[in-house]
Amino acid sequence: MIDSTLMVSIVNKDYSENQKKAISVGFCPECLPTLIDYRILESFYSDDHGMEVLQVKCSNIAGCEWEEILPARRSDNGLENFFES
């Protein structure tokens, strides 16, 4: 899952709560209610945001033009460092 707190600080467009949830779990917000995933075009360091970001685009290339910059950081799901403890 994409870190929702960071996503709000990076994304300039206003999305509904359902759209934000879809983005955070890997789906295109413009194609809802159909769940179509997005693909990562590139990962790079953004000087504007001071972090690694992902440029993503909807996988439905024939029917959707959605493209966005998202944080590359993931939210902690509680399993990080599980096997190291």
pLDDT digits (tens, 9 = 90+) for 43-62: 999 888 788 899 999 999 99
Let me know if residue 68 belongs to a domain.
yes
Which amino acid does the sequence have at 85?
S
Residue pair 19/34 in contact by the 8 Å Cβ criterion: no
CA 28/CA 77 separation, integer angstroms: 21
pLDDT digits (tens, 9 = 90+) for 68-79: 998 887 655 555
pLDDT recorded at residue 8: 72
Let me know if residue 83 belongs to a domain.
no
Number of domains in the chain: 1
Q: Percentage of residues in the chain with pLDDT exceeding 90? A: 41
Q: Interior CA angle at 49 toward 51 and 37, to 5°?
A: 75
Which amino acid does the sequence have at 51?
M
Let me know if residue 33 belongs to a domain.
yes
Q: Is 31 left (phi over 0), alpha (psi -120 to 50) or beta?
A: alpha
Let me know if residue 31 belongs to a domain.
yes
Task: Give the pTM.
Answer: 0.73
pLDDT at residue 32 is higher than 70: yes
